A and B are shown apart, each in its own frame.
Chain A
């Protein structure tokens, strides 16, 4: 610790810190820029967007809360918007919980045991990752019609429960854990399933956190498949709903821009909470075991 301090005190290092931190400050400003511009635009009438495009305009006198008042007014548009919001939340929560559990157990089976088809199965997991979903989209759509899952949330969720990339990530993470733990638990009388739940799962928390965010992101933002499966406007998710507002006439841009900004907010808050947890998990040195 003392050594670190003397290092940090040297002028050379201080310049480095300023440059390094300054670099990420600038990068972050660039990244925030479009959303900031969108946020400013959400305080102005939507017709402005059509006429002028989007740019930073800090003129406070032209800004007001009308779009947000309209969004929360409880009228037909507002009700529609919050219905989509609720649908998206529901789908995201259910699919993330199920996906994480299922993928964890699959990865656990592939990592902790030596069995006959292990390598073949893992190759298959990788192989499924290398076929773009879009190729399977049309046949899956026909399959959903046959299963009568069109216009249901089951239809939206079910095809993604065994995400290959999630399994892959869990497997990478679990391979870093010592297998001696399993033998120790077996000697203590745990059966195979309670080991996976009680011993290993708590150790895999960081993997759950980071995969949870990735899956939530994927599910919250999913457009293509929900667009095909969901038919009724009362079942739409937020992205699909917002997409329906994109008419060439632009009469809905008030709701679109305010709704878009409000749509980013909660998932951002969740991420900021999770984010700290990820950093905790990573620095805990659990990876090295």
Chain B
């Protein structure tokens, strides 16, 4: 307040030719703009705008559209007809099963293993760490169009394809990989592991870096074995990273679409073995231009994703405390 009082006369003198009232309110605005009270709101403003324009509005629209029959010229309200249709839709059921199965297996494969790899990488048992990190991260830099195409050609039904060469070398015979349910899922999971092992490992690695090394020293003094150190120091302190990886993996697993799209070179696979929830949404909404029905598919996906993620976050105690 004192600063304000002393500044006003000088300001007035300086702008004596201009509208004093206007200058005063501009100064007031400027002062407010620079104050500690207003600054945080200025910082978060872009998020708020983006949130309403590109999240709240489309989300509400997705809900309202799911109760409509969207035509090219006019749309009409049809109540819950889209949802009752979904319940009886066998193709949709296949899509949900595929997505949930895929999500489950990616969680099993892409959390424990990258975590262990990160712990090993973080130890002093590994030389040339930079090289391995770069190589393991490389698949994530590769477009799904490219990696999907490479893997489709590797999983070819011809005996000259790489996967058939490997499986017959192991004495397992050759398969029409992309034509059967289980082998199609294997192909999808191979692509997922190839793409995300390195990324998840880097997440865990940065989590490990933030663990205070004095804790390990203290554990050493107490005579803890490596297993005990992992169990009682690494694992609990890595939890925020684990929860983050788990959250994005649930989401990414359920919403997987492009891997399947590229593996089967389009959105149709034999007996829908590669069809996912989003694949079905795309098929209905874009290919068959039935946006209302596609939005109902989207709403179901949302509900499934939310239930799984909330259950996971509650089990992990994320909501219990804000400060640490």
What residues make up the interface of A, taking CB atoms closer than 8 Å to B? 4, 8, 13, 16-17, 19-21, 23-25, 27-28, 31-32, 34-35, 37-38, 41, 49, 51-56, 102, 105-106, 108-110, 112-113, 115, 118-119, 121, 124-125, 128-140, 142-143, 158-159, 161-162, 165, 167-168, 172, 176, 191-193, 196, 210, 217, 220-221, 223-224, 228, 238-239, 242-243, 246, 248, 256, 260, 263-264, 267-268, 271-272, 275-276, 279, 282-283, 287-288
The answer to whether B135 and A28 have CB atoms under 8 Å apart is yes
Q: Kindly state whether residue B265 has any CB partner on chain A within 8 Å.
A: yes
- Give A134 to B146 CA distance when docked, in angstroms: 21
Report if A132-B158 is in contact (Cβ < 8 Å); known contacts: A21-B125, A28-B136, A32-B135: no
Q: Which among B13-21, B77-85, B205-213 touches the partner chain?
A: B205-213
Secondary structure dominating the interface of B: helix
The answer to whether A106 and B44 have CB atoms under 8 Å apart is yes
CB distance from B71 to the nearest CB of A (A): 13
Report if A161-B46 is in contact (Cβ < 8 Å); known contacts: A35-B150, A52-B161, A55-B165: yes
Report if A136-B143 is in contact (Cβ < 8 Å); known contacts: A24-B132, A31-B135, A54-B154: no
- Give A30 to B120 CA distance when docked, in angstroms: 18
Q: In chain B between 90 and 139, which residues have their CB closer than 8 angstroms to a CB of chain A?
A: 117, 120-121, 123-139
- Minimum CB distance partner of A196 in chain B: B43
Report if A130-B139 is in contact (Cβ < 8 Å); known contacts: A139-B57, A193-B34, A196-B43: no
- Minimum CB distance partner of A147 in chain B: B53
The answer to whether A282 and B254 have CB atoms under 8 Å apart is no
24 A-B pairs with CB atoms under 8 Å apart are A17-B124, A28-B135, A31-B139, A35-B150, A37-B150, A37-B154, A41-B153, A54-B153, A54-B162, A56-B162, A129-B251, A132-B251, A134-B257, A134-B281, A138-B65, A138-B295, A139-B61, A143-B54, A161-B50, A217-B141, A239-B143, A239-B144, A260-B146, A260-B150
The answer to whether A131 and B160 have CB atoms under 8 Å apart is no
- Give A219 to B54 CA distance when docked, in angstroms: 17
Which residues from chain B contact A172 at a C-beta distance below 8 Å? Answer: 240
- Give A228 to B282 CA distance when docked, in angstroms: 11
Q: Which among B179-187, B215-223, B228-236, B302-310 touches the partner chain?
A: B302-310
Q: Kindly state whether residue B237 has any CB partner on chain A within 8 Å.
A: no
- Give A37 to B150 CA distance when docked, in angstroms: 8
Secondary structure dominating the interface of A: helix
The answer to whether A32 and B138 have CB atoms under 8 Å apart is yes
Q: Kindly state whether residue B224 has any CB partner on chain A within 8 Å.
A: no
Which residues from chain B contact A52 at a C-beta distance below 8 Å? Answer: 156, 158, 160-161
Report if A38-B150 is in contact (Cβ < 8 Å); known contacts: A228-B286, A242-B145: yes
CB distance from A216 to the nearest CB of B (A): 9
CB distance from B62 to the nearest CB of A (A): 5
CB distance from B274 to the nearest CB of A (A): 15
- Minimum CB distance partner of B310 in chain A: A130
* Those 6 A-B pairs whose CB atoms lie nearest each other, nearest first: A109-B43, A53-B156, A20-B125, A53-B161, A54-B153, A139-B58
Which residue among B145, B160, B240, B291 has the maximum number of chain A CB atoms within 10 Å of its CB? B145
- Minimum CB distance partner of B36 in chain A: A192
Which residues from chain B contact A287 at a C-beta distance below 8 Å? Answer: 209-210
